[in-house]
Structure 1
Amino acid sequence: MTQDSQEEKINGDEAGPGQRPISRRDALKAAGLAGAAALATETVSSAQAADETPTAVQAKNPYGGVPSGGITLPPYYRPTPSLVSNNVYYPGQEQLGPDEMRISFIGSTPIPVTRAQAGTCIMVELGNGKRFFFDFGSGCVRNIIAMAVPLSVVNDIFLTHLHVDHYADLPYLFAFAPWMGRWKPLRVHGPSGRTPEDGIKAMIEGMKMMTRWHTDSFNACPIGDGYEVEVNEFDFRDDNGICYDKDGVTIRHWRRSHTKDGASAYRLDWNGLSFVWTGDGRPDERSLELAKGVDVFVTEVQPDTANLQAMKMGMPSVIMSTTIDQAHSPHYAVGYMFNKIQPRLAMVTHTTYDEELIPEITAGIRVHYSGLFPFGAPDVVIVDVTKDAIWTRKAAIPDAGNMARPSPAEAVELFGLTPTNLKVTFPNPRNPLADQLEAEILNGDIDPKKYYPPDVYREPKKDYPRDYTIDVREIALVKAKKAQAKLSEKAAQIQAVIDAIEGSK
């Protein structure tokens, strides 16, 4: 029997009554055609499905979209009433509204410090005239000066922990501010540690020892109590404990996981407005709970891009990734926290502002969070907050500039002035210069007449005058009259506008 006849017999046995037997060859052909048809059908179905599937995620504004309103911007993202310029903050030229909070990112990086980024420092100013500083990293003093804040009025510094990048400029402020007029003690707040040696009190004592030569030398100057430090060391374990409660301002703290016990986050509440700075640390449930309902939530971020950073910094990627796993919040976690907390404004700072990393950080955060999110970096990003509006912009600061003078309100508090006491009395120096220098050195100066032009020569005085007093009565009167004249001029201008409008009816 041939193979074909055998195939016909086999198929004939399987054929039903009245059916022509089909050979195996025909069956294989039919199966092939059926398979091709099925494949074609599947291909068409897949193509149709691809056509029906969106090519991108359909973005949606979480606050409710409006035409040309963006996909992350809420309706309350608009300028606050007190702004002089919607685009630029001009330090010293803008009066903060009485119900407004201003947050200034004075410094924004851990390491390395660059011309664009000083060490982390956040200044919070309130409409009641109070000002607070959260962390005080390397180089922040130069930006504080550029922001027209006199060093003599810098006080109430809250340190999240005692890594040097969070307090490096504190010794500089401590050493020089008394000579500039802060004759009252410096106030520093911060956590305790696992042992007394690990707390902020011990650090301040160490700072005093480190600067002893400097502070002793300035005893020949009028420094008053400027080298005293009022240290508010709170128990770092007291989660949600109050570490400041004065003038309607409440500041609370809680623990953070950051390589060693004694790292804290802060929350400031005032007049129905609130601000959180987590400091450094791992993403934690405690922050999710205690930051609920906050207006502005600021945390650190370290992008989990160790391979790229290894190429840039020459550091093994395992060092970078393990550092994140031990002590920091990766960008994906930051987005997760933002989404859980749902602040009115979410921000990150304390990060190296590498241009190529900003899109990656943003993308990682957007995995979980679609709300309002700007960077608190590079330096001098400004945030204005009221109950109805939030607005961000940048400050215009000089590359070089002199120290600003205290404002009248600051001078009143700094020198204890009242309407009946308008005299500023300088503290007497603790030591004459002769007590601090050997006679041979003290008397070894070149005769000033040898280098001064005769018409500008003055007799040198090695010691400050004692009981030196400035009567600011005339100064205050002149300023008050100038202010009165400006108000009268403004009132006249407003009346002229009113008259013009009414006359056009």
Structure 2
Amino acid sequence: MISTKKLFIGAALAVMAVMLFEWNHSGNRHANTSGLTAQAIAAESPPQVSPVKARARDFYAPNSEDLGPNEMRLIACGTGMPTARPKQAASCWLLELGNGDKFIFDIGTGSAERIAALQIPYNFLDKLFLSHLHTDHFGDLDALFVGGALMGRQKPLRVWGPSGDTPERGTKYALDHLYKALTWDLDGRKGITDPRGYVPFEVTEFDYKGVNQIVYEENGVTIRSIPAIHALDGPVSFILEWNGFKFVFGGDTYPNKWYAEYAKNADLAIHESFISVPTLIEKFKFTPQGALSVGTQVHTSPEAFGKMMSIVKPRMAVAYHFFNDFDTAPDITQRIRSTYDGPLSLATDYMVWNITKETVRVRMAAVDEDVWPPQPSEKPQVPDPKLRIPPSQVILDGKYDMKEVDQPTYDKINEEYGLSEKQD
């Protein structure tokens, strides 16, 4: 039988050993802890909160944070369905890099409003990459083009997109005809606003069948394309690499061998995870046959999304292309988790990811619904009134004479800015 004295000595030695270990490792105390232990240590000395100084916040406020030289920021500007709704616009993603470059991937219906809410000068938003030509992926291109030029984009809008299996199904054909469709709009702005942003799109159309082909290479940024499987021939996915980071945007696609190979070990990988078949039947009123076809063949089911992510193993997997609601998110999550147990974000509009070598931070942006366009990055050009196309005399004859009420405004502006403008 062990004596009480021996037990006491043994316990004392154990306590001393623990104390010595803690003392030797105190310099790395926080670095060598994680989870609940780290939280407990942090609770020992909570940060001092000032009643007057800014406090830490867990949301992103546009135009309020610097982007580090070795950092990427992704903002979801559209995550929903072809039928846009107030909560979710159609597909659109803004990727900002620490070198100053900004790239828009898709510009689906309703997404231009989200881009405007981010308060980024439009001169910085001149690079757009289209995954394919469904309207829920390029339906707000006209709004970005015209609205951006009106509010400060003083250069051409550059657009990269895939060819089709016929010329009529390619990006260049679509954008050439979109520009023609805007003839009345653009002619009506001649001689009234800065004209530099209204020039035709600069379109780079590339072969949709190319595998890991370079479609963009500037300023240390390389963007490649791979084929995607969706609807017809033509859709693609994009892989962006910069400064040791890899970002993958799948667009719309069925799981495929190209994504499985070239998206591996991405820092952030976006792939569609469509509404589940039962939800398509219940909420979209699809027939069972239609729900099975659309939900598992034309698009990617949540279970198949999870399987793909278990193959590519990204630092962060991002699921999108579904209505993200209180009653659909649990169903989507459960289905994804049946095949994937890694890091996961169920995307919704204004979700933000900050990616560094150490962390991937996920939060929401808080935007101002009353936002005005940001200040242009360059001084606007004075329009040439000689370029203006006036209405016909038949229409002009219908004008009321309002010179008397408008003249005080002319007088004030002319005096304030040293001008001599006159009314028509």
Q: Common fold, TM-score beyond 0.5?
A: yes
Counterpart CA distance in 1 for 2:177 and 2:385 is 23
Contact 1:137 1:167 in 2 (8 A): yes
- TM (normalized to structure 1)? 0.68
Local SS of the residue matching 1:174: helix
- The one-letter code sitting in structure 2 at the alignment partner of 1:264 is V
Matched, 1:395 2:365: yes
What residue in structure 2 maps to residue 106 of structure 1? 77
Matched, 1:341 2:319: no
Contact 1:276 1:294 in 2 (8 A): yes
Equivalent residue runs for 1:212-291 within 5 Å: 212-221=183-192, 222-224=194-196, 226-291=198-263
Aligned-pair CA distance for 1:401: 1.5
Provide Cα deviations, 1:431-451, integer angstroms capped at 9, x if missing partner.
443x43213433543222454
Counterpart CA distance in 2 for 1:400 and 1:173 is 18
Counterpart CA distance in 1 for 2:159 and 2:278 is 39
Counterpart CA distance in 1 for 2:304 and 2:265 is 19
Aligned-pair CA distance for 1:220: 2.2
Matched, 1:441 2:395: yes
Provide Cα deviations, 1:372-408, integer angstroms capped at 9, x if missing partner.
112121x1000000111110000000222211114xx
Local SS of the residue matching 1:353: coil
Counterpart CA distance in 2 for 1:332 and 1:301 is 8
Contact 1:224 1:427 in 2 (8 A): no
Matched, 1:361 2:324: no
Larger Rg: 1
Match of 2:36 among 59, 64, 68: 68
Aligned-pair CA distance for 1:278: 0.5
Local SS of the residue matching 2:362: strand
What residue in structure 2 maps to residue 429 of structure 1? 384
Matched, 1:384 2:354: yes
Question: Structure 1 residues 365, 68: CA separation in 2 closer, same or farther (over 3 Å shift)?
Answer: farther
- The one-letter code sitting in structure 2 at the alignment partner of 1:245 is E
Provide Cα deviations, 1:54-73, integer angstroms capped at 9, x if missing partner.
xxxxxxxxxxx955399xxx
Provide Cα deviations, 1:64-123, integer angstroms capped at 9, x if missing partner.
x955399xxxxxxxxxxxx99551101011111111000000111123311111111000
Local SS of the residue matching 2:286: coil
Counterpart CA distance in 1 for 2:67 and 2:370 is 25
Provide Cα deviations, 1:195-225, integer angstroms capped at 9, x if missing partner.
1111100000110121111111111223135
- The one-letter code sitting in structure 1 at the alignment partner of 2:258 is R
Question: Structure 1 residues 457, 128: CA separation in 2 closer, same or farther (over 3 Å shift)?
Answer: closer
Q: Percent identity?
A: 32
Counterpart CA distance in 1 for 2:409 and 2:225 is 57
Contact 2:324 2:346 in 1 (8 A): no
What residue in structure 2 maps to residue 159 of structure 1? 130
Aligned-pair CA distance for 1:252: 0.5
Counterpart CA distance in 1 for 2:196 and 2:345 is 43
Counterpart CA distance in 2 for 1:431 and 1:261 is 46
Match of 2:282 among 304, 311, 314: 311
Aligned-pair CA distance for 1:230: 0.6
For this pair of structures, how many residues does the alignment match? 370
Local SS of the residue matching 1:144: helix
Counterpart CA distance in 2 for 1:285 and 1:69 is 42
- The one-letter code sitting in structure 2 at the alignment partner of 1:404 is P
Per mean C-alpha deviation after superposition, the further-off stretch among 110-119 and 280-289 is: 110-119
- The one-letter code sitting in structure 2 at the alignment partner of 1:386 is T
CA RMSD of aligned residues (A): 2.7
Contact 2:229 2:235 in 1 (8 A): yes
Contact 1:385 1:391 in 2 (8 A): yes
Counterpart CA distance in 1 for 2:327 and 2:380 is 55
Contact 1:295 1:343 in 2 (8 A): yes
Gaps of 5+ in 2: 1-32, 39-53
Question: Structure 1 residues 214, 318: CA separation in 2 closer, same or farther (over 3 Å shift)?
Answer: same
Counterpart CA distance in 2 for 1:260 and 1:69 is 53
Question: Structure 1 residues 215, 67: CA separation in 2 closer, same or farther (over 3 Å shift)?
Answer: closer
Question: Structure 1 residues 245, 86: CA separation in 2 closer, same or farther (over 3 Å shift)?
Answer: farther
Question: Structure 1 residues 432, 289: CA separation in 2 closer, same or farther (over 3 Å shift)?
Answer: closer
Counterpart CA distance in 1 for 2:188 and 2:293 is 45
Contact 1:88 1:395 in 2 (8 A): yes
Match of 1:96 among 67, 70, 74: 67
Counterpart CA distance in 2 for 1:436 and 1:403 is 28
- The one-letter code sitting in structure 1 at the alignment partner of 2:384 is P
Local SS of the residue matching 2:330: helix
Question: Structure 1 residues 393, 294: CA separation in 2 closer, same or farther (over 3 Å shift)?
Answer: same
Match of 2:108 among 91, 115, 137: 137
